[in-house]
Structure 1
Amino acid sequence: MARTSDLVQRLQVARQDLALTQEIAKLDKFDLLILDDLSYVRKDQAETSALFELISARYERRSIMITANQPFSGWDAIFPDRAMTIAAIDRLVHHATIFEMNVESYRRRAAYAAATSLSDIEDDRDKQQPEKETATAKDNSRPATLSSDIET
């Protein structure tokens, strides 16, 4: 498994080494190629051209699944060439099943739930604990705090 941005870099290096066709052929052993978070790719013309070559090579031969948090109308930010954007989308949506999910991010929801739970736990702990005390070290030369006061 590789991130989409890493795969694009690998394809670009292969193109520079005149080995793009061979690199794409290596990916042909997979019936399904998943490109996760495609909208974060935003690379230069040469890199997106290599990605387009991959899409074109797999068209009507192998499957590609793409996740992106941008609608197709925002893909001009991924493919800087408008004609390449249209051609890539055309190849991807032909024979495709498209799932558009307009829901809240599960990561954001989980982070909010975790923060809320942590806040509730801290509130409960503060209500149950007596006022915090400060202890001093045995040699009285420096203050030390109780271990319950240490925040991680």
Structure 2
Amino acid sequence: MSPYQTLSGLLKQLKLSHMLSQWESIETQALQQQWSYAQFLLALCETEAQRRSEMRLKRAITEAQLPGVKSFTTFEFSHCQDFNPAPLMQLADQVSWLDRAENCLIFGASGVGKTHIASALSRRVLEAGKRVKFFSATALVQLLQQDKQCLQLQARLRKLDRFDLLVLDDLGYVKKSEAETSVLFELIAHRYERKSLLITANQPFSQWDTIFPDSMMTVAAVDRLVHHAVIFEIKAQSYRQQQAAKRTAT
């Protein structure tokens, strides 16, 4: 076998698939531009590393189950004139807040873009190499209820610990019942100072008695969430209603 055949066989054996598909074209470029051996090897390693990074991100996005392709570049911050995006961008650029198990809480009326922001921030966290899981709050609460009935709640909570960031979207739609709110409180208590939560909600904390039936539980839940948290409040007219009005006008 020629050295070329041997090299291809070894790259396949080592499962360096992208390097295998690219090394000949990179070798041609290296010869034309008179690269050193180190430059050639560096280029080969960089193409493999980039491909693996892309595949890791693709798997992480699939696992996270984000609601559509959302980004900060597609969010109309001008729609929220009183909202300062600088602290939000800091969370997106410096994900060390996840290592400190800090939370992100986003409040605002329906339609102002809370889910869009939560999804965009989650995407940036994924790009930084962290693991994320996105849930509607009602879906997660129902899942936790089922686990509790099967005596598997603690196992589920430990399983969710794999994720650096757990997103609960639209917390305000959780029904005010002892069964639902008890598992929600257990989730908040379990992740306190352990892992981060990102929560969006229509109601400010002063109205969370509509979520938790017991005022003591409300205070305890809020206390744990805000102890290490960055809080955002979006005050704007519903973006969806504005768009509907524009379509009607035309």
* Alignment pair present for 1:54 and 2:190: no
- Larger-gyration structure (1/2): 1
**Aligned equivalent of 1:18, options 151, 173, 177:** 151
* Alignment pair present for 1:88 and 2:221: yes
Give the TM-score normalised by the residue count of structure 1: 0.73
SS in 1 for 2:230: coil
Deviation at 1:47, TM superposition (A): 1.1
* CA distance in structure 2 between the aligned counterparts of 1:100 and 1:8, rounded to whole angstroms: 24
Matches within 5 A, 1:94-113: 94-113=227-246
Sequence identity (%)? 58
Following TM superposition, the consecutive aligned residue runs of length 4 or more in structure 1 with deviations greater than 4 angstroms are: none
More helix by proportion, 1 or 2? 2
Give the TM-score normalised by the residue count of structure 2: 0.45
* CA distance in structure 2 between the aligned counterparts of 1:98 and 1:17, rounded to whole angstroms: 35
- Indicate the RMSD between aligned Cα atoms, in angstroms: 1.1
Matches within 5 A, 1:29-68: 29-68=162-201
**Length, aligned pairs only:** 117
Contact 2:174/2:180, CA 8 A, preserved across alignment: no
- Unaligned stretches of 5+ residues in structure 2: 1-64, 66-134
- Unaligned stretches of 5+ residues in structure 1: 118-152
* CA distance in structure 1 between the aligned counterparts of 2:172 and 2:223, rounded to whole angstroms: 17
Whose RCO is larger (CA < 8 A, sep 6+)?
Answer: 2
